[in-house]
């Protein structure tokens, strides 16, 4: 495993994202929807630097089945807060193909929010398969499988305070 983004670099990027989000929304109330499980670390760090009145809810989305390849996307919105007539900011760990974010936005649009925007710590360069860009991005990264700061490989490594790229010997290839 090799460190891709150090802990101080991650922290600095989260501060920058919070500044951008605070600047964008000003004092308007905001509903944050974190995407479980990968967003939990970013969510906790980001909301503590946000200055508008805010509510926090979660939705669960998973598309990995224990490996580094995608499976069918499953969304569980049982815990999602009421977002009707709210400005919504979806927070996720990483924007890869974009299918997860697109499906979440499609689902939430049906619930009549005022607006929906998205914030992700990482965006993989050149991997997008949808016509959608996240509104607030911490880092663009190359197409490597990364872990740490919420991101997992087979449910491990979410607790690392930095972002690391897995190497072939880490995934038994």
What amino acid positions are annotated as catalytic residues? 96
59 Cα distance to chain centroid: 11
Using rule CB under 5 A, residue 134 touches Mg ion? no
The closest residue (CB) to Mg ion is 38
DSSP 110-148: TT--SEEEEEEEEEETT---SS---SEEEEEE-S--EEB
63 binds, among Mg ion, ligand IMP, none (CB under 5 to 8 A by kind): ligand IMP
DSSP 3-state of 24: helix
Among 38, 134, 138, 150, binds Mg ion (CB under 5 A): 38
Is the CB of 45 or the CB of 96 nearer to ligand IMP?
96
Rounded Cα–Cα distance for residues 93 and 35 (Å):
8
134 binds, among ligand IMP, Mg ion, none (CB under 5 to 8 A by kind): none
Query: Residue numbers of the site for ligand IMP (CB under 6 A)?
Result: 35, 38, 63-64, 92-100, 145-147, 151
CA torsion angle for 50, 9, 61, 112 (degrees, to 10)?
30
State the residues that interact with Mg ion by CB under 5 A: 38
């Amino acid at each position: 495993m090799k460190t891709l983004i150090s802990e101080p670099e991650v922290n600095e990027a989260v501060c920058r994202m919070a500044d951008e989000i605070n600047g964008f929304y000003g004092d308007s109330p905001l509903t944050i929807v974190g995407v479980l499980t990968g967003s939990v670390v970013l969510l906790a760090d980001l909301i503590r630097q946000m200055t508008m009145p805010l509510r926090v809810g979660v939705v669960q989305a998973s598309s990995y089945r224990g490996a580094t390849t995608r499976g069918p996307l499953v969304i569980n919105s049982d815990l999602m807060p009421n977002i009707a007539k709210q400005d919504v900011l979806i927070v996720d760990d990483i924007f890869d193909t974009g299918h997860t974010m697109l499906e979440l936005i499609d689902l939430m649009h049906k619930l009549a929010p005022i607006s929906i925007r998205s914030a992700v710590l990482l965006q993989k360069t050149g991997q997008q398969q949808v016509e959608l860009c996240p509104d607030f991005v911490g880092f663009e990264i190359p197409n490597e499988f990364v872990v740490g700061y919420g991101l997992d490989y087979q449910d491990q490594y979410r607790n690392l305070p930095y972002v690391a790229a897995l190497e072939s010997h880490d995934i038994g290839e």
